[in-house]
Amino acid sequence: MTATRAAGVPVVEDGALVSTNPATGEEVGRFPVSDADDVARAVERAREAAAWWVGLGHAGRRARLLRWRALLAQRVEEVAGLVSREGGKPVAEAIVETAAAIDHIDWAARNAKRVLGPRRVRGRLTLAEFSAHLEYLPMGVVGVIGPWNYPVVTPLGTAAYALAAGNTVVFKPSEYTPAVGQWLVDTFAEVVPEQPVLQIVHGPGEVGAALCHSGVDKVAFTGSTATGKKVMAACAETLTPVLIEAGGKDALIVDDDADVAAAAEACVWGALTNAGQTCLAIERVYAVAPVYDTFVAEVVRRASALKVGYGDGFDIGPITMPKQIDIIRRHIDDALARGGRAVLGGREAVEPPFVKPTILVDVPEDSAAIREETFGPTLTISKVADVDEAVRLANASSYGLGGAVFGKRRAVATARRLRTGMASVNSVITFIGMSSLPFGGVGNSGFGRTHGDDGLREFSRSKAITTRRGPSALKAMTFERTPAHVARIVKAVKLMYGRSGR
């Protein structure tokens, strides 16, 4: 980072990270930059705090997390305003994001004991003299690395589950959104003042790298695929487990029996919300031939009515990260140079720091606009012969985060066929707010799951205990075994497993 100030570009001045509004250049906050020693000390404090946090048990943690949830709900407008000032998105979008995050805290707090608590599981006949118990224990200290595009729901979508599972957390927010990260950690400290259960370390990517090397027990990374690979490589050195929530190139399929108006309405929001800077943004549409023309016309009509600008009354804000504008422009240029057409927007739509909605058709499948994550308010719509072709093209992506299907008779079956971690039928992106469902991708979108039962287990280690209830009949696992015992084992195995199909 340099010391020059450009709207939205974070700089370090006198050891402080300065964040600015990407539309106005207004300073939003300044925060001390951590170095590797600071990160190590934070992890050390987190490790000491972990014993206290674990000692509270599920009930104690639940009570505190629900108090935090209540505080966030009471101050939802305050944090949404800060998200808008620091990242540029409309306040209404920030409220929707925060509401989803609040629900995740609530769900994680209420369900941790059910999902992770000790339980007896059925044993096996071959080990009939033993009972079996299972429980999920905290891992210790979890490092959470977050992106800037959803600075509330992405870090909390992992941190809330890690905390509910009994871990302490050291959080490194994006250098583009340190103020939001600090607000979250400060509000947590209001309800949990006793110990540093949730801490923050500020700074550029190197601070995230230091967290990977710090000896944390797990790293939960949300960000780009390229950085995810670096995080994984760094964590490999110490066999630190990682959760990677990376980029996406989500597709929407419109079948011939879809409600086309509803599909267009959802598509416009799914593609353009947060100026398209959404991991789950609809970036590609495959519409079957009979509905294609109506769908394109309806999308263009709706998208052209949206207002682009910063502040009250605008639907689409600035591009938060100025350097992303070059990528968006390249994707539009490449699509147009290779035979694509802009039925809305186009090259002239790029007016830094804003990009107006751009709808591209006839774009070749091997172009950047179809293959790479654009992260801008652009959308490609392709005509396909049938739903099979739509599924084939939707799946021909290195990414596999989410997806959507609009239709009736075979929509759910089509959603199942998408090579993604999540899919929504007759809606877009809804799974992010469904706290009871796991969230995560495949391929270049990453691996591991947050949210839901799986999300709680992601931040736990299973502990299996077998307890002897009586003497062993088969004497399988002892040197006291005699040939007679072995004969009995052979007989038992043949009796229990020797007949096929039963």
- Residues lying near ligand NDP in the complex (CB under 6 A) are found at 145-150, 154, 172, 174-176, 204-205, 208-209, 212, 222-224, 227, 230-231, 245-248, 279, 373, 375, 401, 441
Q: How far is the CB of 33 from ligand NDP (least distance, A)?
A: 10
Residue number, 162 or 209, with CB nearest to ligand NDP: 209
Phi then psi for 150, rounded to 5 degrees?
Answer: -130, 80
Angle, in degrees to the nearest 10, between helices 225-236 and 205-212 = 30
DSSP for 340-395, written as a single string? -EEEE--GGGEETTEE--EEEES--TTSHHHHS---SSEEEEEEESSHHHHHHHHH
Residue number, 149 or 182, with CB nearest to ligand NDP: 149
Q: How far is the CB of 375 from ligand NDP (least distance, A)?
A: 6
Length of the chain in terms of residues written: 502
Distance CA(475)–CA(74), nearest Å, equals 62
Distance CA(260)–CA(264), nearest Å, equals 6
Distance CA(390)–CA(388), nearest Å, equals 5
Q: How far is the CB of 88 from ligand NDP (least distance, A)?
A: 14
Q: How far is the CB of 494 from ligand NDP (least distance, A)?
A: 50
Provide the 3-class DSSP secondary structure of residue 496: helix
Residues 6+ apart with CB under 8 A from 476: 126, 485, 489
Residue number, 343 or 379, with CB nearest to ligand NDP: 379
267 catalytic? Reply is no
Residue number, 250 or 298, with CB nearest to ligand NDP: 250
CA distances from 178 to 68, 185, 203, 319, 358 (A): 20, 11, 8, 17, 30
245 catalytic? Reply is yes
Distance CA(380)–CA(247), nearest Å, equals 17
Residue number, 90 or 151, with CB nearest to ligand NDP: 151
- Give the CB-nearest residue to ligand NDP: 208
The one catalytic residue among 97, 212, 279, 283: 279
Distance CA(140)–CA(211), nearest Å, equals 14
The one catalytic residue among 245, 298, 372, 373: 245
Q: How far is the CB of 427 from ligand NDP (least distance, A)?
A: 18
Residues with catalytic roles: 245, 279
